[in-house]
Amino acid sequence: MTFYYSKYQKIGQFTCLAVFILGMVYAATTLLGFLSLKSPAEPIGNPYFTIMEVLTILVAPLMAISMVAVHAYASPVDKIYSLAALLFMCLMTGITSSVHFIMLTGSQQAQVAQHADFRFFFSFKWISVAYALDILAWDWFFALSFLLASFLFKSSREEKLLQKVMMISSILSLVGLMGVPLNNMQIRNIGILGYAGIAPFAFLWIGKILGQPKAPVS
């Protein structure tokens, strides 16, 4: 049991730290991308767009692996929450990785960009298939995963504070969903604050919790 705990503890610490670092790099890249624009209405161009796509493809599976460690950390009575959180995070990873890989490869091809339905399938402007799938991944599946995972952190004052941060991240992500029925992507941007602004710091905190000693569960 001790060896098992040590194994997921070390992996979880590493992946949570990696999520935080990549999240900060993503935020810096996004800021530089916006600063490079002549008009706020323009989409972020290369090289910033490509870097952001690659970072998303890298960070998503790290989030899923982090949730594997959280599942291992959970007490037996809470395994139903951690398992559901892991499944939802894996769904998020699969969807967003597919979307961003297609955006990174297919949408950059000139012949694809000339297709009549290009904007409907490949644009990150509403309404498009890629945008809708990414909203589903982050504002729904990520939010559900983080919300369920927050129920696991309750044994100390520090864990309860982390729980609140994770709940705030989840709720903001869920609020972003309201931008879809209201056809208002400014509201959807609230969700970005939840999963891209707050979540990286929550993952860093989760890694810290995973690194602390835990009594073996018999």
| pTM tops 0.85, yes or no | yes
Domain that holds residue 94: 2-210
217 within domain boundaries = no
93 within domain boundaries = yes
Residue 139 makes CB contacts below 8 A (sequence gap 6+) with: 173, 174, 176, 177, 188, 191, 195
Total of domains in the chain: 1
In sequence order, what DSSP letters do the residues of 134-157 get, joined into one string? Answer: HHIIIIIIIHHHHHHHHTT--SSH
190 within domain boundaries = yes
203 within domain boundaries = yes
218 within domain boundaries = no
117 within domain boundaries = yes
Rounding to the nearest 10 degrees, give the CA dihedral for residues 14, 17, 19, 24.
Answer: -150
46 within domain boundaries = yes
pLDDT values of the chain reduced to their tens digit, one per residue, 218 residues: 455 557 888 999 999 999 999 999 999 998 898 888 877 666 778 899 899 999 999 999 999 999 999 999 999 999 999 999 999 999 999 999 999 998 888 766 655 556 656 666 666 777 888 899 999 999 999 999 999 999 999 989 999 999 999 999 999 999 999 999 998 888 988 999 999 999 999 999 999 999 887 644 44
216 within domain boundaries = no
